[in-house]
Structure 1
């Protein structure tokens, strides 16, 4: 009774699992000869007999394959005919060739670089040459305003202003101690953090606009564009200076702490959060000014401008690193003005309407 139950269980298991992991064939002859034949036909395999419901001397031969589980579909020669197996191999080969073509290789097939499998539209520059950047498009490029006032400073008056000012001053001390005069690496590392406030502020204002069913007054887009601009600063300085392993580790720690700290600060007081960013941008202007001084002294080599910077800021072809630092500093000055200006609008709603008792104009124009 026990042996019959065990046989039924074994048959049930082999019925469900067998097609995936084993190759089965019906043997109608001597057991030893069949095992030898199967052993020679299936390389690296071992054969075993399992008694089944076959009549007479018929037995089920199970071939145990020494192959990975993922390759079990192509492992058994008995399960698939030779013709079918060749077709499977051709399909695999065609799939690998298609993957190579998608990466730019293959047999001259067109590469489709899109998640949806749709070939992207061809974008060209004004001179007709092909646009090679995916992180930004020609209509997102611009010429920086170098005439912006770099010496503008917001004197801390209120308590929150003083908290923001001295917080930024306190953060600058360890930064100066760590980077010292390595301004190229300093700029690259700080841009990994500078792009956080705009994204956090834009995200929270976006959610606030959804909750209150009201317009944003243009501030969501302004803050997200600020975050994107800071990220492009990072992409540019990555071409100039490569971070070391411990500096990459530092980015994880600093960005993680700063993101959460700024997120909570923005929830508690958006005015304080924007004032902190305004003072951070003032420090960035100072750092890039020192960067320019080192370039003029010859301490830092004035290498040609990276191609991504030439296209993003519409710089001349013969631009240098000094020209890049100039436009980046102008961007930081713009962010400084926007964030200080946003702090003064703390008592206004997102849509820019005038609050009760205010003498400010009804319409607010973004800087």
Structure 2
């Protein structure tokens, strides 16, 4: 019987993007080309020389690299270590609806990603133990969803500005930058794990449902949507805090020797000597804490007329005010009378 060698699918079905390329495995069935079946786990770790970038830079003889318009602020180690888990109390029916939705989504995400957090006194049980692969599965699924709200909000406000023939007062840039930041988190973790087909299908399904649901919700109540994202980011901060604790207590030995990918070093401007996996998680957690603050703040404002306090110039810049960095961080966001 003939044996087929690994053949790129694009030779059969056309020429897809490089990151869409799948490969066929050897088979002994004559005349049939079987695609590589997904692994039984969500992600598979692979050496860097065997894992291709999912979004490789363009192959152009005159271009060295592609730059971004959004430059990430520089965080200090002290600022990142000071990030704490926090929660904003639900005060209105809108807040309670947003919080309830996040709790349902959190339950579903825990089920999909295999994450379980123990109650006090149950930490030693095996079913609650998380290893490196399980954490990466959760991170990738979380970040693939977290990049949706900023893009949806920015897009809808952009279109409203166009049809209304008026300014947006700085909201669009902040929302799109948030979406970009979440996507950089995802690209960073994709350098550490290679999702299987099942995981890709989960992401596809979750994104399809979440995008459309958030799109319709933002049309109805932008305030509720920003509060929803604020509560969602509270959960993200909690997730990364627990991962950092596991790493620091020796429960994730593989990560103790893992260096942050080059994409992360360049994006966060990670200094020499502070490029470990622990440092990477600190940077990501700090970003999530900032998104938590930003969205709770935006949820406190008049959605139709108030300017974006994160893109504003203040009359007295010496007083504490919202900013991109971590100099002044408020877990529950800035109240409207503090910034407007």
What TM-score bracket applies, with the shorter chain setting the length?
0.5 to 0.7
1:159 has 2:102 as partner:
no
SS at match of 2:236: helix
**Counterpart of 1:146?**
80
**Counterpart of 1:253?**
205
- 1:87-124 per-position Cα deviation (integer Å, ceiling 9, x unaligned): xxxxxxxxxxxxxxxxxxxxxxxxx956xxx934x5xx
Q: Which runs of 4+ in 1 moved over 6 A?
A: none
Q: CA deviation at 1:351?
A: 4.7
Change (3 A) 1:146 1:214: same
Q: CA deviation at 1:268?
A: 0.4
Given the alignment, which residue of 236, 239, 247 partners 1:284?
236
C-alpha distance in 2, partners of 1:278/1:139? Answer: 22
Given the alignment, which residue of 109, 116, 121 partners 1:175?
109
Change (3 A) 1:366 1:349: farther
Given the alignment, which residue of 252, 259, 262 partners 1:304?
259
The aligned runs of 1:18-167 (5 Å cut-off) are 113=59, 119-120=62-63, 133-134=65-66, 136-137=67-68, 140-144=71-75, 145-146=79-80, 149-167=83-101
SS at match of 1:146: helix
Ranked by relative contact order (alpha carbons within 8 Å, sequence separation 6 or more), the top structure is: 2
Q: CA deviation at 1:291?
A: 0.8
- 1:139-169 per-position Cα deviation (integer Å, ceiling 9, x unaligned): 7243235266423421001001001001101
1:343 has 2:277 as partner:
no
How well do the aligned residues superpose, as a CA RMSD in angstroms? 2.5
- 1:3-60 per-position Cα deviation (integer Å, ceiling 9, x unaligned): xxxxxxxxxxxxxxxxxxxxxxxxxxxxxxxxxxxxxxxxxxxxxxxxxxxxxxxxxx
Change (3 A) 1:351 1:213: farther
**Greater Cα radius of gyration, structure 1 or 2:** 1
C-alpha distance in 2, partners of 1:336/1:328? Answer: 12
Aligned residue pairs total 232
- Which runs of 5 or more residues in structure 1 are unaligned? 1-111, 123-132, 354-360
Q: CA deviation at 1:306?
A: 0.9
C-alpha distance in 2, partners of 1:259/1:138? Answer: 25
1:316 has 2:247 as partner:
no
Normalising by structure 2, report the TM-score: 0.63
Given the alignment, which residue of 151, 176, 179 partners 1:199?
151
C-alpha distance in 2, partners of 1:352/1:190? Answer: 26
C-alpha distance in 2, partners of 1:269/1:327? Answer: 31
Change (3 A) 1:332 1:139: closer
C-alpha distance in 2, partners of 1:295/1:310? Answer: 20
Normalising by structure 1, report the TM-score: 0.59
C-alpha distance in 2, partners of 1:269/1:139? Answer: 28
Asked if structure 2 preserves the Cα contact closer than 8 Å seen for 1:266 and 1:273, the reply is yes
Change (3 A) 1:352 1:305: closer
C-alpha distance in 2, partners of 1:196/1:139? Answer: 18
Q: CA deviation at 1:334?
A: 0.4
C-alpha distance in 2, partners of 1:349/1:149? Answer: 31
C-alpha distance in 1, partners of 2:246/2:74? Answer: 24
Given the alignment, which residue of 189, 212, 218 partners 1:266?
218
- Which runs of 5 or more residues in structure 2 are unaligned? 1-57, 116-129, 310-314, 316-320, 324-340
C-alpha distance in 1, partners of 2:81/2:248? Answer: 20
C-alpha distance in 2, partners of 1:348/1:211? Answer: 14
